[in-house]
């Protein structure tokens, strides 16, 4: 498609004279003193624009080869100096108009979890988040979380009309709190439309790793912030979980057995960041436990022959409790009419994944989709220790699911009943709810 030129004039660019053009596709083009053509995409590379005196100042993110094993995103400032006030006004107005047409966020509410991972979130915000917000001319309200479930409490009462999105500078825990706080509001239908972004600053960072990896980008604060500034969105499934009389919502993963033990019991090594998972995982693999229980599920198409069928009487007893009226009720499910099947333990580990990556280093569910309406169920049965260590080494690329010791299926409903130390039971139902995330 031919693009029309909407601005063309001679200007000074960072001090040298050249012809500058702006086309209708939002591309600025000019030549440097060596007659090399340069270009900047407003949609892909611009953070913000301002004018001061006779200058149009563009703040941008550009890729440069550096010390980061490939192309790095680098903040750069370009100064354009037209030779007349009229030319300056046309250039600035056209750039500003194009940015506004992209629907980018102008006001954000930002959670920073200073306790997550290596307690680096405050530093990540200061070094990687705040400068980009300022370059992009985005207003923001900052809230440091002070205790567990603080983000959930704030999200539950936050005046959403004041913001275009919520950003979590943290690991996955704050994201889960925010989702639960929003879905327990009386105006949950409006809250579903509030975009949420994640900046990796925790132990796991599985959600932002999944988002960025899906478009071939590295999991860094810079790329995550660029996704948020651009304002692109992606829909996300939400699983409704009942555990006894408690109901909550999951967007990343649920685990029982090996992975859950590693996550919970390695808390004492939190100062190590994500490395705590690998180190404690090795310890737990060498002292392997088995978990007795039964996994009941409604399979997705293509997995109807997995497991054994369940009698109607057993299915009728699975009906979850009613949810509070003034909040998201969860999906409407006719439990008795669903085709339930079951698998009996013992198991080594049970995972339910909503997105491919459980953490930055563990591709737990390589076939998971963000919005297919299903959860990916991964079961690991009895496995020799050496084989288990080999499997764990292949979690970084997802190849472990090919092992004969691993069963990988997709499900829409799950019921886990287990006995290990304490009685443990929960029911999960996944639904495509149109919850949205900032996505590149």
Is 32 labeled as catalytic in the residue annotation?
no
Spatial separation of the C-alpha atoms in residues 212 and 222, rounded to whole Å: 11
Q: What is the dihedral of CA 320, 322, 327, 333, to 10 degrees?
A: 50
How far apart, in Å, are the Cα atoms of 169 and each of 35, 175, 226?
42, 9, 14
What distances in angstroms separate CA 309 from CA 264, 297, 302, 344, 350, one per listed residue? Answer: 33, 10, 15, 12, 20
Check if the beta carbon of residue 173 is closer than 8 Å to that of residue 250. Answer: no
Q: Record the tokens describing residue 170, joined without a space.
A: 């943290």
Report the distance separating Cα 146 and Cα 141, nearest Å: 16
Residue 81 and residue 54: Cα distance in Å, rounded? Answer: 6
| C-alpha closest to that of 376 among 198, 205, 250, 200 | 250
Q: Which of 135, 172, 237, 415 is catalytic?
A: 172
Cβ atoms of residues 196 and 437 within 8 Å: yes
What whole-number distance in Å separates Cα of residue 415 and Cα of residue 294?
Answer: 8
Residues with active-site annotation? 172
């Amino acid at each position: 498609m031919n693009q029309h030129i909407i601005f063309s004039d001679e200007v000074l660019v960072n001090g040298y004279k050249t012809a500058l053009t702006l086309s209708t596709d939002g591309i600025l083009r000019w030549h440097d003193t060596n007659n090399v053509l340069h270009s900047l995409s407003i949609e892909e590379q611009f953070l913000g624009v301002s004018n001061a005196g006779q200058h149009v100042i563009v703040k941008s993110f550009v890729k440069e080869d550096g010390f980061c094993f490939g192309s790095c995103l680098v903040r750069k400032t370009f100064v354009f100096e037209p030779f007349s006030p009229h030319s300056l006004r046309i250039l600035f107005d056209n750039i500003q108009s194009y940015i506004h047409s992209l629907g980018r966020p102008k006001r954000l509410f930002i959670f920073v979890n200073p306790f997550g991972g290596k307690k680096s979130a405050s530093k990540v915000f200061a070094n990687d988040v705040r400068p980009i917000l300022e370059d992009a001319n985005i207003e923001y309200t900052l809230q440091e979380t002070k205790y567990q479930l603080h983000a959930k409490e704030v999200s539950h009462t936050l005046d959403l009309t004041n913001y275009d999105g919520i950003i979590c500078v943290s690991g996955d825990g704050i994201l889960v709190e925010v989702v639960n706080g929003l879905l327990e509001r009386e105006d949950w239908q409006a809250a579903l439309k509030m975009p949420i972004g994640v900046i990796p600053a925790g132990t796991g960072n599985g959600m932002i790793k999944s988002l960025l990896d899906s478009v071939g980008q590295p999991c860094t604060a810079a790329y995550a912030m660029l996704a948020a500034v651009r304002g692109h969105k992606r829909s996300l499934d939400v699983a409704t979980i009942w555990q006894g009389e408690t109901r909550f919502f999951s967007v990343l993963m649920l685990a029982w057995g090996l992975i859950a033990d590693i996550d919970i019991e390695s808390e004492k090594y939190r100062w190590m960041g994500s490395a705590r998972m690998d180190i404690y995982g090795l310890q737990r693999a060498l002292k392997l436990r088995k978990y007795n229980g039964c996994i009941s599920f409604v399979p997705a198409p293509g997995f109807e022959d997995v497991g054994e069928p369940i009698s109607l009487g057993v299915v009728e007893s699975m009906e979850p409790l009613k949810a509070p009226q003034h909040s998201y009720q969860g999906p409407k499910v006719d439990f008795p009419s669903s085709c339930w099947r079951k698998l009996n333990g013992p198991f080594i580990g049970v995972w339910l994944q909503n997105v491919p990556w459980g953490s930055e280093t563990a591709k737990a569910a390589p076939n998971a989709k963000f919005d297919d309406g299903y959860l990916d169920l991964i079961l690991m049965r009895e496995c020799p220790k050496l084989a288990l260590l080999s499997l764990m080494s292949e979690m970084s690329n997802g190849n472990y699911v090919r092992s004969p010791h691993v069963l990988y299926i997709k499900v829409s409903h799950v019921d886990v009943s287990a006995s290990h130390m304490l009685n443990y039971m929960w029911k999960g139902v996944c639904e495509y709810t149109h919850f949205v995330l900032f996505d590149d």
